[in-house]
Structure 1
Amino acid sequence: MRSYLTGPARPGSLALAAALLLLAGAGPAVADDGRPDRDFTIGDPRITESSGLAASRVHPGVYWTHNDSDDGPYVYAVDSRTGKTVATITLRGVGEPRDVEAVSIGPDGDLYVGDIGDNLDGAWDHVWIYRFPEPDTLRDAAVTAVQYDVTYADGARNAEALMVHPKNGRVYIASKNEGGGGLYEGPARLSTGSANVFRRVDEVPWVTDGAFSPDGTRLALRSYFSAREYAFEDGRLGEDRAVAAPFQRQAESVTYTADGSALMFGTEGARSGVVRVEVDGGSGSGSGPSAGSGKGEEAGEAAGGGGQGNGEGGDAALWAVAVAAVAALWFALKRRRRGQG
């Protein structure tokens, strides 16, 4: 039985969560000894609303990302060793992007960019997916992308998560709703000749991004305050387990490393940090928090399993201060309510 950790929250809970985010989000992640696929900071001043992440299949340690909106048809390749942008891709042959929220890589080596956001929850009668081959050489370039029209069988909705299955190439979208959204399955092959209808096949929590593991057997979904990893088989979600996702100021993105050993969690903001979290069953090694470790749910819910940075024990003091500050705020709010009563 799957448990959903997100949903409508009372104002007091939201105030506490916001306070904890401000306190715990101090300081961006930094590169770890120049190794790839470690915590890093996106240093490009143009990238202030990183809303999606995808690990390159061609260039080890490189991650594709993009801004949320009001940026134009751009996709950026960022080297996790340095945090520097090593390529800017300008998409040609597409309309003016409205609300780009996700990026994923298919088994054909193509990048799929999801212009699927709809903050008015149904203002757009269709959304778009842009598709282009991942370049063999990392340099600034303009590429012609294929544009697909997308509609939902049960009506327009907001979404921030687009995932391409790494084995069969089918595209999935997870809608975003405080009370829980849906997992939508696209047609077996996307078409440019007509709208591609996505149909609801399962229920999901409040989702801001998602990603398939490289072997396609797991699907990770994250929200602002937690993350879960689901077994995935025959197009449906199976058993799930908590992942000790970091608490970030505006938790917007997630992807698996190319070898499937860890998840990389990103956030919006200037010089935003990307944090590595090991996962059980991955092929890599490390000492970070893992899904199903017994600490995942507690960390993902209460403190995010860590904060920005490299996950070392030196963060304990910061967390102690954060918890104390939130507790103080809580009691102050209670006293204020009594005074108004």
Structure 2
Amino acid sequence: MGDLLVRTLAGLVVAIVLPVAPAFAVSAPDTPMRAPASPGAASTYAASTPGASLSAGAVGAGVGFVGSVPSAGGVRPATGGPSSTPAEGDREKVEFTISDPRITESSGLALSPTRDGVVYTHNDSDAGPIFYALGDDGKTKATFTLRGAQARDWEAMAAVKDPATGRGVLWLADIGDNFDGAWPDISIYKVAEPATLRDATLPAVRYRFTYEDGGHNAEGIMVNPKTGQLFVVTKQFAGAIYEAPERLRANRANILRRVGSAPIMATDAAYAPDGSSFVIRTYFSATVFSALDEQVAKVSMPALDQAESIAYTRDGKALLTGSEGANSPVYRVPLPAKALPTSPARQEETSASEEKGASSESSEEKGSSFGKTSADDEATRAPDAANADASGGIDTWDILLWLAVAVVAIGVITLIARKAR
């Protein structure tokens, strides 16, 4: 009985300590000093920051933010990759603080593709199928409920503009699975962006999904603004990007197929407004990609209690990132020049990649941004954790952090074992 108790407690320690460990790792020694991350300090900081308003102009998916007062934060260079230094004088800052007392677990973030100054968010599990429209001051403008939907473990959302109609389309992802396969399928809801900002119950289309290689825990989705295709990013040590079918079926489960690797323990993802790149957020940082497994830059993120969300600004020059918790701040983090969609160096790199890929069909397909995938190519990209691409954003510091957490967990387990004797 004692041995059974020890094994059970040890399992609980590992299950509880390891997943939350990254939350304690955001203040790593090589990460610059940042603006206050606590709710109270963030509110004070935001209140003293003028110019923290949303910019005008509706182009693509996202909302541009403007502000003139920088914080003391910055970005660190990507390990073995391109420089990730932002433009001089441009630093991260608190854009606004979510003030609604009902929003205590902001887990997804999406900028309105049709309205200036509107950001959507939702809570994590056990909060009902509800999402909120926030203004540039962090206050709730409207609350929306999805008719007939469930909220088992909502973890992410995305927003794009339908090129055919010009209307906004929102996606809300019930994809969390802490046991990596406890649920037979996952659900993602598609809903037309509300025509007015008034509390309402909205109809939604539910799409069910299963992974081609078994269940996974996931906290990120992204939608290509050019094609409307959906992707799910898993939250695992050997994370991956899964592609949904081009045409989704509401009457049966849709198969998610692995098409690329993702950084360790990804918590969210988003496409750039022009579709030229995408970003994947982790507890430690954010990694910008120009295509599958093609890293552009790694950007350090603000110190947050539990980093959960990320989105691009309308102009594609910065990222917005948020956290769970009451009165949680949403930061604006500028992108390094290398990661900007209009960067000359980026364009030259893309041209060189295309020329190099012209001599080989396989190279050409890998260099493209989420193109159609043949059956043979999918087989070539079969999951292989041992061969995960290092460009996914794992560096030496990340590995050392996880090893340190593992040592702590082992110490706790040893203490429990001695007490149980």
Give how far 1:97 is off.
Answer: 1.4
Q: How does 1:137-156 map to 2 (within 5 A)?
A: 137-156=196-215
Query: Is the 8 Å Cα contact of residues 22 and 284 (structure 2) preserved in structure 1?
Result: no
Q: What is residue 215 of structure 1 aligned with on the other side?
A: 274
**Bigger-Rg structure (1/2):** 2
1:68 aligns to what SS in structure 2? coil
How far is the alpha carbon of 1:180 from its aligned partner?
A: 2.2
Tell me which of 101, 108, 128 is aligned to 1:52.
Answer: 108
Contact kept in structure 2, 1:130 and 1:145, CA below 8 Å:
yes
Is 1:200 aligned to residue 247 of structure 2?
Answer: no
Q: Which whole-Å deviations, capped at 9, do the CAs of 1:238-271 have from their partners, x for residues lacking one? A: 2331113112110000000122121001000000
How far apart in 2 are the matches of 1:155 and 1:16? 27
Distance between the aligned counterparts of 2:253 and 2:23, measured in 1?
Answer: 43
Q: Which residue of 1 aligns with 2:143?
A: 88
CA shift at 1:121, angstroms?
1.4
Tell me whether 1:105 sits opposite 2:159 in the alignment.
yes
Counterpart residue identity of residue 112, structure 1: W
Report % sequence identity. 45
**Correspondent of 2:42 among 28, 31, 53:** 28
250, 254, 263: which one aligns with 2:306:
250
Aligned-residue CA RMSD (Å):
3.2
Q: Identify the residue that residue 6 of structure 2 maps to in structure 1.
A: none
TM-score, reference length from structure 1: 0.74
Q: Which residue number corresponds to residue 171 of structure 1? A: 230
The amino acid of 2:260's aligned partner reads D
Q: 1:59 to 1:194 in 2, by over 3 A?
A: same
What is the distance in 2 between the residues matched to 1:131 and 1:264? 22
Residues 1:283 and 1:43: Cα distance change in structure 2 (over 3 Å): farther
What residue identity is the alignment partner of 1:87?
A
SS of residue matched to 1:101: strand
Distance 1:169-1:115 versus aligned 2 partners, 3 A rule: same
The equivalent of 2:284 in structure 1 is: 225
Give matches, 1:304-315, under 5 Å. Answer: none
2:361 corresponds to? none
The unaligned stretches of length 5 or more in structure 1 are 1-9, 285-299, 303-332
Structure 1 position 120 matched with structure 2 position 179:
yes
AA of the residue aligned to 2:301: A
Q: Hey, what does 2:244 align to over in structure 1?
A: 186
- Checking the alignment, whether the CA contact within 8 Å between 2:23 and 2:304 is kept in structure 1 is no
Out of 188, 191, 201, the position equivalent to 1:129 is 188
**The one of 114, 126, 130 aligned to 1:70:** 126
Q: Which amino acid aligns with 1:147?
A: R
How many residue pairs are counted as aligned between the two chains?
A: 278
Contact 2:131 2:144 in 1 (8 A): yes
8 Å CA contact 1:225, 1:301 repeated in 2: no
- The TM-score normalised by the length of structure 2 is 0.61
Higher helix share: 2
2:157, 2:268 → 1: CA distance? 9
Name which of structure 1's ranges 23-32 and 272-281 shifts more when overlaid on structure 2.
23-32
1:105 is matched by which residue type in structure 2?
A
Query: In the alignment, residue 28 of structure 1 is paired with which amino acid?
Result: A
Asked if the contact 1:77–1:86 (Cα under 8 Å) also holds between the matched residues in 2, the reply is yes
1:293-304 mapped onto 2 (5 Å cutoff): none
Q: Which residue number in structure 2 is paired with residue 239 of structure 1?
A: 295
Matched residue of 1:106: which SS?
strand
Q: Where do 5+ consecutive residues of structure 2 fail to align?
A: 1-16, 29-34, 55-64, 67-94, 163-167, 343-394, 398-407, 416-421
Would you tell me which structure has more strand in proportion to its own residues?
A: 1
Match 2:333 to one of 262, 277, 293: 277
Cα distance in 2 for residues equivalent to 1:15 and 1:144? 37
| Preserved CA contact (<8 Å) 2:26 2:284 | no
User: In structure 1, what is the Cα distance between the partners aligned to 2:23 and 2:183?
Assistant: 33
